[in-house]
Structure 1
Amino acid sequence: MPLAKRAQILGFLVEGMSLRAASRLADCSINTVTKLLVDVGMACAEYQDRELRNLSCQRVQCDEVWSFVGCKQRNLPAERKAESGVGDVWTWTAIDADSKLVLSWLVGDRDKEAATMFVSDLASRLSNRIQLTTDGYRIYLEAVNSGFDVPVDYGMLVKHYSEGQQGPERKYSPSKFVSAERRKVMGKPDKAHISTSYVERQNLTMRMSVRRFTRLTNGFSKKAENHAHAVALHFMYYNFGRIHKTLRVTPAMEAGVASHVWRLEEIAALVPEPVAKKRGPYKKKPR
């Protein structure tokens, strides 16, 4: 497939289209779109894992956003509960409050093991002491303690909500926000910067830009691996290829990781071209 065609399909995907919608507009097989997503998703994950290192961030915010693969956990049949890669899945994200760069993410469960892996990966990408903010999820406490080898200024933003409303509207309207409590957990965090506003806004960007995160639709992921590839593609485009309206540059440029705005052709070209196999002379088989 020509590079321009691959870039066109990636453009459809990063703007929130489903695989089938992309295949219709690009006039190609859905298997072709899926194969392109897998190849580019793997390449994007490898590139960002390599390049997002030794970052001099000052303030980092973390959160986790819910989605599911196959079906929701509560609807999972009893015979599939032991099966891995189906049911609820969480994407852990860490964003630099200044450059808006998403420097670490993890697709997995919402448990202690996933939290520890996520925080450890985040710590390995930093070059200096930071102020860290998370929500009130208690698993973060042990994860931060074990994940950071250097001191960190850590604060929690604990939000309080009223009781959820009754009736069909509860599916669409969240509980009413009541108050937020800023807690100092470790070190000397500046209370004025104990906030999760940027990472929560990034969660909204993800839901608007990745079809698999759209609520109450049939666009959810059917395979956990493809879900992770879609997340990697989203963050590649968000970090390197999409100009942030506030910054007027991409987050990667603001963080000093990139020197220009990446085009979709450049993202597609992260996948190495296949090498043609040398073929010998044709020999007619004896009957």
Structure 2
Amino acid sequence: MNKLPAEARTQILHLLCEGQLIRAITRITGVSKNTVTKLLIDAGRACAAYHDEHVREVQTRRCQVDEIWSFTYAKQKNAATAKGVVDHAGDTWTWTAIDADSKLVVSWLVGGRDSEYAMALMDDLRSRLGNRVQLTSDGHRAYLEAVEGTFGGDVDYAQLVKLYGAAPEGPTRRYSPAECVGACKLRVEGSPDPAHVSTSYAERQNLTMRMHIRRFTRLTNSFSKKVENHAHSVALHFMYYNFVRIHSTLGTTPAMAAGVTDRLWEVADIVALLDAGAPKTRGSVRIAVDVDPISFL
């Protein structure tokens, strides 16, 4: 079987990580669309497996969680009547948990937005933490049961509930969200420090995802057609974000700041993971397209 040289695979993965369309990459590199997609799938599997194996016993004081919306194949309101509809078409949510100090994305999950996915995220997050943390989420009710069921009393947990005014009228309603007029900090468990009850870093990570994962760009035709490929793109993004991309504030990568690695990675190191073969996972991978997380290994 023909195999792309390492330099070509490195270039393609780098373009994917910087938000290029798959068809744009084919025009730039001359590589077929199917080859780029196959490389994305292989890289996503390898990155998810590496994260699962090595991001463990993370020492963090403050962790923030949030979820970001996207859709697969068709928006939820159109999924039932869409032609040739695929499994899991409609709303697709990506859950993230980020260390507020090192900016490391400790855990993520792709799936729905109900309590079972919240529980799956919390179970995975706790398995990766090495100490008691202060946890902050938004006011999504699914977090309440999930945090209680996973951490019990071994967490300092608070919710930041944002208050919004009336939605804009007229054509701007589609593009402009309602104005945030205030926020309420609610202690839920333990003794969270009110000064650090915030979801700002998690929300900023949502913007980073929209900027670097083309499938998250709104009002385009670059949305995911298969949820599995969507999840592989997310896995590749977080590997690049955690290990390769230097954080402008930290001056290093989040993985180095968190002590997960002692060196600065390059995209070529991700290609080396493909050549070496993906490590075996222990526990569920953070990629899910149903109630139970599934492994793509």
Q: What secondary structure does 2:273 align onto?
A: coil
Provide closer, same or farther for how the CA distance between residues 26 and 130 of structure 1 changes in structure 2, counting only shifts above 3 A: same
Aligned residue among 253, 270, 273 for 1:270: 273
Question: Matched residues in 1 for 2:276 and 2:26: separation?
Answer: 22
Per-residue CA deviation, residues 105-144 of structure 1 (Å, 9 max, x unaligned), is: 0000001111100111001101110000000001100000
Query: Deviation above 2 Å: which 4+ runs of structure 1?
Result: 77-84
Aligned residue among 179, 182, 185 for 1:182: 185
Q: What secondary structure does 2:64 align onto?
A: strand
Provide closer, same or farther for how the CA distance between residues 150 and 258 of structure 1 changes in structure 2, counting only shifts above 3 A: farther
Aligned to 1:278: none
Aligned to 1:156: 159
Aligned to 1:243: 246
Counterpart amino acid of 1:69? T
Count how many residue pairs are aligned between Structure 1 and Structure 2: 274
Counterpart amino acid of 1:62? V
Offset of residue 150 of structure 1: 5.9
Provide closer, same or farther for how the CA distance between residues 269 and 219 of structure 1 changes in structure 2, counting only shifts above 3 A: same
Compute the RMSD of aligned alpha carbons.
1.6
Provide closer, same or farther for how the CA distance between residues 81 and 155 of structure 1 changes in structure 2, counting only shifts above 3 A: farther
Q: What secondary structure does 2:219 align onto?
A: coil
Q: Equivalent residues in 2 for 1:81-92 (5 A)?
A: 84-92=87-95
Q: What secondary structure does 2:95 align onto?
A: strand
Share of identical aligned residues, percent? 57
Aligned to 2:112: 109
Offset of residue 23 of structure 1: 1.3
Query: Are 2:169 and 1:166 equivalent residues in the alignment?
Result: yes
Question: Matched residues in 1 for 2:84 and 2:203: separation?
Answer: 30
Aligned residue among 174, 197, 201 for 1:198: 201
Question: Matched residues in 2 for 1:240 and 1:98: separation?
Answer: 16
Question: Matched residues in 2 for 1:247 and 1:218: separation?
Answer: 35
Offset of residue 15 of structure 1: 0.6
Aligned to 1:234: 237
Question: Matched residues in 2 for 1:32 and 1:273: separation?
Answer: 19
Counterpart amino acid of 1:237? Y
Counterpart amino acid of 1:22? I
Question: Matched residues in 1 for 2:84 and 2:112: separation?
Answer: 14
Per-residue CA deviation, residues 219-239 of structure 1 (Å, 9 max, x unaligned), is: 000001000000000000000
8 Å Cα contact 1:67-1:213 kept in structure 2 = yes
8 Å Cα contact 1:69-1:220 kept in structure 2 = yes
Question: Matched residues in 2 for 1:150 and 1:159: separation?
Answer: 25
| Structure 2: gaps spanning 5 or more residues | 278-297
Q: What secondary structure does 2:109 align onto?
A: strand
Q: What secondary structure does 1:189 align onto?
A: coil
* TM-score, length basis structure 1: 0.92
Question: Matched residues in 2 for 1:215 and 1:79: separation?
Answer: 19
Aligned to 1:208: 211
Aligned residue among 251, 254, 259 for 2:257: 254
Question: Matched residues in 1 for 2:86 and 2:169: separation?
Answer: 34
Per-residue CA deviation, residues 136-165 of structure 1 (Å, 9 max, x unaligned), is: 001100000111256100000000111111
Per-residue CA deviation, residues 227-264 of structure 1 (Å, 9 max, x unaligned), is: 00000000000000000000000000000011121111
Q: What secondary structure does 2:96 align onto?
A: strand
Q: What secondary structure does 1:195 align onto?
A: coil
Counterpart amino acid of 2:116? E
- Larger radius of gyration, structure 1 or 2? 1
Provide closer, same or farther for how the CA distance between residues 172 and 126 of structure 1 changes in structure 2, counting only shifts above 3 A: same
* TM-score, length basis structure 2: 0.89
Aligned residue among 136, 149, 170 for 1:146: 149
Question: Matched residues in 2 for 1:21 and 1:81: separation?
Answer: 25
Question: Matched residues in 1 for 2:43 and 2:86: separation?
Answer: 27
Aligned to 2:101: 98
Question: Matched residues in 1 for 2:270 and 2:56: separation?
Answer: 19
